[in-house]
Chain A
């Protein structure tokens, strides 16, 4: 690629001494290099994930606690009222999976701050690759990890009394991937503006927890006080949680509404996808500025 760079815009005199300054090793073209970069960043995320087993366990502990302890504890209190007839544990199961996607995505993205402190970010930023490829690789990598976590949790389905047809499973997989991708893009935007790891706790308290509580993951989005109804509708995560619940619980799920209008799943998908893409664009812009 560098050779082509030199060949096109360079004045003739510069071509006189090409071997002195041109790189010696054979190089791939721009497209191959950027695709290779996405694959590399993705692979790095996966390798690091599987080499840190503590991270897998920590990532699963909180959702399982919510599902089995909170789920079992709250169930007698609710008794199927306002959860559409299903018991509370069944109701929060999709919410808990979405929660693990939320935590895992934000955690993956925030590892950028680590990379900044420990230097690997610079190794990536001084490389002759597009910032888009770096951010995309990061989002796809973090997204994959989040989906892996979500799928591990899905193994608990029989214990909760949920069963999925192969088609429903496929739809679930797609929805998890979409939510994970969008949340990773969002996390990267936060991480790219964060200076040190000290800010992590603040992000968890002020950003992640409100996003979780206002998403319909833990309690239904219907029959709430007006202010809560408005806030849940403004929270993008709501549009990731609702389709997961509708696919998982089928006709038992109480769908999300705007006023009296039931929001169709396709629109929810479009909302999450658009927001994710917009976040990705902002992240790329932020990294361009640091070059």
Chain B
């Protein structure tokens, strides 16, 4: 279900040249440990590409390689036509980064942070000035531009980072957990900017997230687990691949209920913490049939179409929210952070 994007040349995509990100057999080892184990995928220009996986699955390592912060151990990766190993400067000049860690200078003002970024990316002063005002307005920081960043709140810093990531009009924007730890209102704002940006500049977005609603927005999603890509498709196709509806019921005795249903309807359930889970083709038609065979009292019943969370569980054996809960503790063990503290 890839959306059509203005100016995207199908012919050049087909021969692999106009692809925004092309990864082929990419491998990254840290000593004995293989973090990325021969992954391949492509991201088309203008696409919003979601990169999902449990912590330690190789997400951040992959992004770090694509951003030229780590050298690949094997395979190749090209970003906007530049090889990450052979032409890192070329890659750097075409990408923008918004990471979960703040990388602003606290003692500089918001405007100074943007101006210095413009210098680093070789934007002429007039160009920086012209782009700065609308960006600051977009992230609602016009009045704060001349305040030192250490006076900003966490959400304001993140918004400034996003404005900065866009200042040099990157063709590919890497968003690594861009909204982690932010309040829902700020998250909504940030997504409004992102949508506006995609409409206006057809920027390719490479996103990692633990939020299901953010994953739903993606044109395509790749799920990575233990260094390998286990699924890659549009959210709707991925949900369809999981197939069955999910019926969860909570009864007086879930184990007895499971056995009765297995005998009576022939569906093997799974007793979980929050109840008895059953996977069936048509949940709504299935529920009335259930009651013919149950002798234990039913407290609640819930029928759900498969969500991306189910997709995530299906392919990785873990819950998306569990993965999120571990995120902050995992930050210190993050290979990219480690690379910088080496």
Please give the residue numbers on chain A whose beta carbons come within 8 Å of chain B beta carbons, in ascending order. Answer: 1-2, 5-6, 10-11, 13-14, 16-17, 19-30, 32-33, 36-37, 39-40, 43-44, 47-48, 51-52, 116-130, 195-196, 290-291
Contacts and interface: CB of A to CB of B under 8 A. Distances in A.
Nearest to B13: A17
Given A2-B94, A51-B107, A195 B121 contact: no
Contacts of A16: 9, 11-12, 17-18
28 contacts: A2-B94, A6-B90, A10-B81, A14-B81, A16-B17, A17-B7, A17-B8, A17-B17, A20-B45, A20-B46, A20-B202, A21-B20, A21-B172, A24-B201, A26-B127, A27-B123, A33-B122, A43-B116, A47-B108, A47-B112, A118-B106, A122-B99, A123-B105, A124-B120, A127-B92, A129-B89, A129-B122, A290-B339
B121 A128 contact: yes
Contacts of A29: 122
A121 B119 CA distance: 15
A196 B17 contact: no
Given A36-B119, A52-B107, A129-B120, A17 B9 contact: yes
A128 B12 contact: no
Question: Size class of B's contact patch?
Answer: 35 or more
B88 interface: yes
A17 B8 CA distance: 8
Interface of B: 7-9, 11-12, 15, 17-18, 20, 45-46, 67-69, 71, 80-82, 87-90, 92-95, 97, 99, 101-108, 112, 116-117, 119-124, 127, 131, 148, 167-172, 201-202, 339-342
B122 A1 contact: yes
Nearest to A117: B341
Given A14-B18, A128-B121, A21 B342 contact: no
A202 B47 CA distance: 50
Given A1-B122, A123-B103, A123-B120, 11 more contacts: A21-B94, A23-B169, A26-B127, A28-B122, A40-B120, A116-B340, A122-B340, A129-B89, A129-B122, A291-B68, A291-B71
B341 A116 contact: yes
A21 B171 contact: yes
B124 A26 contact: yes
A39 B118 CA distance: 12
A26 B103 contact: no
A6 B246 CA distance: 51
A128 B89 contact: yes
B120 A37 contact: yes
Given A13-B12, A21-B45, A128 B104 contact: no
Contacts of B99: 119, 122
B92 A126 contact: yes
B341 A17 contact: no
A27 B121 contact: yes
Contacts of A14: 12, 17-18, 81
Given A5-B82, A126-B97, A291-B88, A120 B122 contact: no
Contacts of B339: 290
Contacts of B127: 25-26
Given A36-B119, A291-B68, A21 B93 contact: no
B119 A40 contact: yes
Given A17-B18, A24-B201, A128 B122 contact: yes
B117 A128 contact: no
A32 B104 CA distance: 24
B13 to A, nearest CB: 8
Contacts of A17: 7-9, 12, 17-18, 45
A130 B45 CA distance: 28
B169 A119 contact: no
B81 A119 contact: no
Of B11, B99, B340, B342, the most chain A CB neighbours within 10 A belong to: B340
The 8 closest A-B pairs by CB, nearest first: A33-B122, A119-B103, A128-B93, A127-B120, A24-B169, A128-B92, A17-B9, A40-B119
A25 B202 contact: no
B12 A195 contact: no
